[in-house]
Structure formats: structure tokens, C-alpha cells
Structure 1
Amino acid sequence: MNKRLLIVAHAPSPNTLRLREAAERGARHPEIEGVEVVVKAPLEAGPEDVQACDAILLGTTENLGYMSGALKDFFDRSYYPVLEEKQGLPCALYIRAGHDGTGTRRAVEGIVTGLRWRWVQAPLLLRGEWQEAFVEQVEELGMAVAAGLEDSAI
């Protein structure tokens, strides 16, 4: 039976769209079999998507020192419907932060702690001016999460 990785990532700009695509590309690496990848924007994703997944990779921009409003909306709609059934859900996060990203990280970590999801990797902070290396880092994150899910290591 295939495992399902849900990628929920806010992509309001061409560069953040490249990051979401990189996460998907990494997760769909040809050597990773047995993992179905579902990619949704936060406003399109909901509790039913979380209920149907075996791991989740979140992506957000830093907005005024907080997560994107779209990701916050996803959490607002999904929190209570998934709270009991999805405890221990493996999760990972990347943040495209124009500044330092610590407020964004803290906010998401607080919600993830409340949900009792389980970090499989420390949040990836992509700080400061845009760098092409960000794309590769997010692709590696997507690959690592999917590979861990495939091996049931996460």
C-alpha cells in the first residue's frame, strides 16, 4: 500500500512557486517508490487532506514576522478536525524568510506542538535575499521526507 505525502505550501511569487515545485520534485524522486505525493496550496487544502496523508511537508513565507495568512487559514480549518486522529503525524517545514524567520518558525512550531505532530527534520529557514541554493535545499527536504516515509523511518 502506498504512503501519502501531503505538501501544503504557500507560493505567492514566482520564486516561492519554484520552492513548492522543488519540494514536489524531490518528493517524486525516481528512486522513491511507494509514496504518493499530493501538492496543494493552503487555501485548497483541508482536514480531509490531512486525514488521508501519512506525512506532511509545510511551506510558508514570512509575513510580518508570522506565517502566511493562507497557511494560518489552513491550520484554523484543520486543527480540531484532525487533532485526535493525526497525533504523531510526521511533519517538516520550510520558511522563505526575507528577514530572520524566527517568529514564523515559533508560530508554526506552536501549532504543530498543539497538534502533537512529530518533526522529522528541523525547520528549514531560507533567510535574506533570494539565493538559487534555496531551490536545491527544498528539493532535498522533499526527497528526505518522502524517502523516510517510504522506508517507514519517519
Structure 2
Amino acid sequence: MSTGPLLIIWHSRTGTSEQIARAANRGSEEGGRLMRAADVSPEDLLAAGGYLFCCPENLASMSGEMKEMFDRCYYPVLGRIEGRPYATVIAAGSDGEGAQRQIDRIATGWRLKRVTEPWIEMMDAQEPEEILAPKTVDEASLERAVELGAALAEGIAQGIF
């Protein structure tokens, strides 16, 4: 099993996922690596000891940029990252379950091991103006993200996962 850093992969349209990913990275200290989904390569996934996937749900699916990362990297790492830990944070207006299911299905194919309960950060945006508006994540959720990043990075470093 890899002992590389926690790889925090994010995509955000209105700021929620990015803020949470950055807070998780702060919590991970030296044990984390923050990357936008568009910049992630199969080599980055292979070098990591575990993963935190942060993205919004758009139209009942994970965001296109996150999906593209999985499309681009899925087969090059298939059979090479089995057993590594992962966690997810989905930013959603009202649901988030569709994006969550998609990522979990991909993680199942990679044989990753979920190590936290799914986290769906509800922003309660329903109208087009609210949905498209930049978001500010509350302090409690940012602190939760810091703690998540710290726990994941430490669990990887200690070989707990």
C-alpha cells in the first residue's frame, strides 16, 4: 500500500467545494496535496496514499470537470490503487445523492475503501440566481473540513487505513 500524501481533488463552480477542499488541505498540513481536478494525472493518483474528492452536484451528477478527471484517469490506475482510503464532500443545493452515488461507484471499481461517512454540504440554493451565485461556507463546516483533512492525513501517515 502507498504511504504517499492525502490527495485532495476538487472542482468548484461557485466556491463551496473549493473552500472545503482548501480547509481540508490546511488541516492535513504537510500530509496533503491539493489539486484541481483538471490538473490531476494518473501519476498523481498513483503517488497518493488516499483521496478526498470535493465537487458540486450539477443537474443530479458530479460536476463535469470531476467526471473528466475520473474518465481520464480511471483505466491507467485500475488495479493499482486498490485498498486506499477515500472520502467525499459534495456541495449541493438540495440533494447531492446523485453525485455521491457516481463517485462511490467509481471508487468501488477502483476497490477504494471509504473511511468516513459521505458528506453533502447543503447550500439550499433553489432559484437560478442563488444557484449561480458565489457561496460562502460557514465556519462550522470549514472547521469540519480542517478536522477531516487532519484525520485523513494522519490515518494515512500512521497506516491506520
Query: Hey, what does 2:9 align to over in structure 1?
Result: 8
In structure 1, the partner of 2:128 is none
After superposition, residues 1-150 of structure 1 pair within 5 angstroms as: 3-28=4-29, 36-129=31-124, 132=138, 133-150=140-157
Residues 131 and 48 of structure 1: is their aligned pair in 2 closer, same or farther, counting only changes over 3 Å?
closer
Distance 1:75 1:15 in 2: 20
Q: Distance in 2 between matches of 1:47 and 1:27?
A: 22
Say whether the 8 Å CA contact 2:8–2:25 is kept in structure 1: yes
Deviation at 1:131, TM superposition (A): 5.0
Instruction: Report the secondary structure of 1:70's partner residue.
Output: helix
| Secondary structure of the structure 2 residue equivalent to 1:62 | strand
Give the direction of change, closer, same or farther, for the CA distance of 1:15–1:108 in structure 2 (3 Å limit). closer
CA RMSD of aligned residues (A): 1.8
**Count of aligned pairs:** 148
How far off is 1:48 after superposition?
0.8
Distance (whole Å) between structure 1 residues aligned to residue 80 and residue 18 of structure 2: 31
The separation in 2 between residues aligned to 1:92 and 1:52, in whole angstroms, is: 17
Aligned counterpart, 2:130: none
CA distance in 2, matches of 1:42, 1:64: 19
TM-score by length of structure 1 reads 0.88
Q: Which residue of 2 aligns with 1:32?
A: none
Gaps of 5+ in 2: 125-135
Identity of aligned residues (%): 35
Alpha-carbon distance between aligned partners in 1 of 2:141 and 2:31, rounded to the nearest angstrom: 24
The alignment partner of 1:84 has SS state of coil
Considering fraction of residues, name the structure with more helix.
Answer: 2
Q: Which moved more, 1:138-147 or 1:40-49?
A: 138-147
Q: 5+ residue gaps in structure 1? A: 29-34
2:152 aligned partner, one-letter code = V
Contact in 1 for aligned 2:91/2:122 (Cα 8 Å): yes
Contact (CA 8 Å) 1:97, 1:125: kept in 2 or not?
Answer: yes
List, as ranges, runs of 4+ consecutive aligned residues in structure 1 with deviation greater than 2 Å: 11-17, 128-131
